[in-house]
């Protein structure tokens, strides 16, 4: 696994282990307050587990294995969530939220099939958020405006962290460059999607790549997306240049959610029409669930970026391959 590990020559954390732990709490306090204010969100409690037959769990790109297990007093098996994209929309309906209001929560998950490297762990922690919108808000301009509010919150959080820890020197560009996945392919037709992300983010520092999920002109997808939460025409990934590792870091995947029309279309494209039997999908098909926008913002990735760390294990406790642990020790990287 450590073949994916990259530690820059001469890297040394600017913060001690104790300072790092204090800084993690400070970042989480500062950023979630800014996020809730910018997007008008209430904090709510969310599940770690859902029933396997609920249809609520996020399928991500559709191939990842979920962590599942039996429960002594139940006939049905349970699953550890992979994200809360569907649960949040159901919650907004149940709690009676209206247009312009939303929720956020601390989401913890296990993604057993994720590769582990500098920026990936099988343990996922993020702020999952969701907001009710009107039919008129289902457009690119509204999506862009929401992204810009999030980026301003990120940039302001970095400035506050740097004031508290002056040994930190990097900044976050608060001007977002927007581009569709097709425009990006047209720009770099001979590159892979990841290579395109690297090139465009190195140039513009803060980038939002839109319209992810459907096939491009080349016949391939920029990246996989489940067909039943984001509208592939109204979603995207927020990438910020990580100057420590000299690479983009994906801070958020987000988008305007499917309505009845886009749900039907995307289930057909992906050949997963059978999902329409689930309660969640039925509630969208008959326009019972509210129209929403939402996403996830990685907590550990944000802390890693703001604290100028080289490995996500410096800001979260997880499990790692033994050879990765050894290499980190040899290069002075202190995993929590």
Catalytic residue among 36, 79, 111, 266: 111
| pLDDT given at position 301 | 93
Which residues of the chain are under the pLDDT cut of 70?
1-3, 54-64
Catalytic residue among 101, 250, 318, 327: 250
Catalytic residue among 58, 128, 130, 197: 58
Distances (CA, A) of 240 to 20, 34, 243, 247, 307: 21, 18, 9, 9, 14
Q: What angle do CA 36, 38, 42 make, to 5 degrees?
A: 25
Determine whether 329 is an active site residue. Answer: no
| pLDDT given at position 58 | 64
Q: Which helix (H) or strand (E) holds 24?
A: helix 17-39
Please report how many Cα atoms fall inside a 13 Å half-sphere around the Cα of residue 282, on the Cβ side.
5
d(CA 106, CA 210) in angstroms, rounded, equals 25
Catalytic residue among 36, 121, 253, 262: 253
Catalytic residue among 125, 185, 230, 237: 237
d(CA 336, CA 328) in angstroms, rounded, equals 11
For the chain, give every domain's residue range. 13-330
Determine whether 237 is an active site residue. Answer: yes
Terminal C-alpha separation, the chain: 19
| pLDDT given at position 170 | 94
| pLDDT given at position 230 | 92
Q: What Rg, from alpha-carbon coordinates, does the chain have?
A: 20
pLDDT digits (tens, 9 = 90+) for 253-281: 999 999 999 999 999 998 989 988 888 89
In this prediction the pTM is: 0.90
Q: Report the CATH fold assignment for 13-330.
A: BirA Bifunctional Protein; domain 2 (3.30.930)
Determine whether 83 is an active site residue. Answer: no
Determine whether 77 is an active site residue. Answer: no
Locus of tokens 């590769």: 115
pLDDT digits (tens, 9 = 90+) for 69-124: 777 777 778 888 877 878 899 999 999 999 999 999 998 888 877 778 888 888 88
Q: Which residues pair with 123 in a beta bridge?
A: 110
Determine whether 111 is an active site residue. Answer: yes
Determine whether 61 is an active site residue. Answer: no
């Amino acid at each position: 696994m450590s073949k994916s590990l990259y530690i820059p020559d001469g890297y040394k954390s600017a913060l001690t282990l104790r300072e790092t732990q204090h800084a993690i709490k400070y970042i989480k306090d500062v950023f979630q307050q800014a996020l809730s204010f910018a997007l008008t969100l209430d904090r709510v409690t969310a599940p770690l587990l859902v029933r396997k037959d609920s249809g609520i769990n996020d399928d991500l790109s559709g191939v990842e294995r979920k962590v599942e297990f039996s429960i002594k007093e139940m006939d049905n098996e349970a699953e550890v969530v992979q994200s809360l994209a569907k649960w949040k929309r159901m919650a907004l309906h149940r709690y009676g939220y209206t247009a312009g209001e939303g929720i956020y929560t601390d989401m913890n998950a296990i993604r057993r099939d994720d590769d582990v490297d500098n920026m990936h762990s099988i343990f996922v922690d993020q702020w999952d958020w969701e907001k009710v919108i009107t039919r008129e808000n289902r457009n690119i301009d509204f999506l862009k405006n929401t992204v810009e509010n999030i980026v301003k919150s990120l940039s302001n959080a970095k400035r506050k962290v740097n004031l508290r820890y002056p040994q930190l020197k990097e900044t976050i560009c608060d001007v977002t460059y927007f581009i569709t996945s097709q425009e990006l392919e047209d720009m770099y037709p001979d590159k892979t999607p990841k290579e395109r992300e690297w090139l465009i983010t190195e140039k513009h520092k803060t980038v939002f790549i839109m319209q992810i999920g459907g096939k491009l002109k080349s016949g391939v997808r920029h990246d996989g997306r489940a067909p039943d939460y984001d509208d592939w025409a109204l979603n995207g990934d927020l990438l910020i240049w990580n100057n420590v590792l000299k690479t983009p870091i994906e801070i958020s995947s987000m988008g305007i959610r499917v309505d009845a029309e886009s749900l039907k279309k995307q289930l057909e494209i992906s050949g997963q029409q059978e999902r329409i039997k689930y309660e969640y999908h039925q509630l969208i098909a008959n326009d019972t669930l509210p129209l929403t926008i939402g996403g996830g913002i990685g907590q550990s990735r944000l802390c890693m970026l703001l604290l100028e760390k080289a490995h996500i294990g410096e800001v979260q406790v997880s499990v790692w391959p033994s050879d990765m642990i050894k290499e980190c020790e040899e290069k002075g990287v202190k995993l929590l």
